[in-house]
Amino acid sequence: MPPSRVTTALPHGILFVLDPTHRKILVPQYDDNAVCSRNPTCISIAARAEVDGEVVVRFSEGPPPDGGTWIEVLREYPLETPGRRLAVVTSEMVTLCESQVNQQVTPVSIFVNPLESPDEIWIEMTDSAGHQASDGQNR
């Protein structure tokens, strides 16, 4: 199935990847020198700020197509998904994409374009057994 795709202006230029049902989410400490910050409950992604334009976010079962200018900034990071849900949300907790996953820990990879202040973000998810997660819903 094709990736879910959302084009939006991001308040504060940040996205979070998390399980919205997780009761103990901790936002990772921000790192000025990295696109992604992470801990076992949440991944934050620094992106183009709302005042600078829109960002295209793709939430997918697979990596971006070959031949593009994608830069992998996080590879198969094990994210806690106790409720078997994975979502991409804004800093104001508005859900952009959400999907059911098969495991309570879901490997997540992040690709961006360009590296500094990205305006394209590709979020790939697979379950812990190496199977693709079920497709999310376009919103």
Please say whether the structural domain 4-125 has been given the CATH code 3.40.50.300.
no
The pLDDT tens digits for 18-74 are 999 999 999 999 888 999 999 999 999 999 999 999 999 999 888 898 877 899 999
The pLDDT tens digits for 64-110 are 988 778 999 999 999 999 999 999 999 999 999 999 999 999 999 99
pLDDT confidence of 2, banded at 50, 70, 90?
low
pTM: 0.87
Scored b (16 or more CB within 10 A) or e, 1-38 reads: eebbebebebeebbbbbbbeebeeeeebeeeeeebbbb
Cβ atoms of residues 133 and 126 within 8 Å? yes
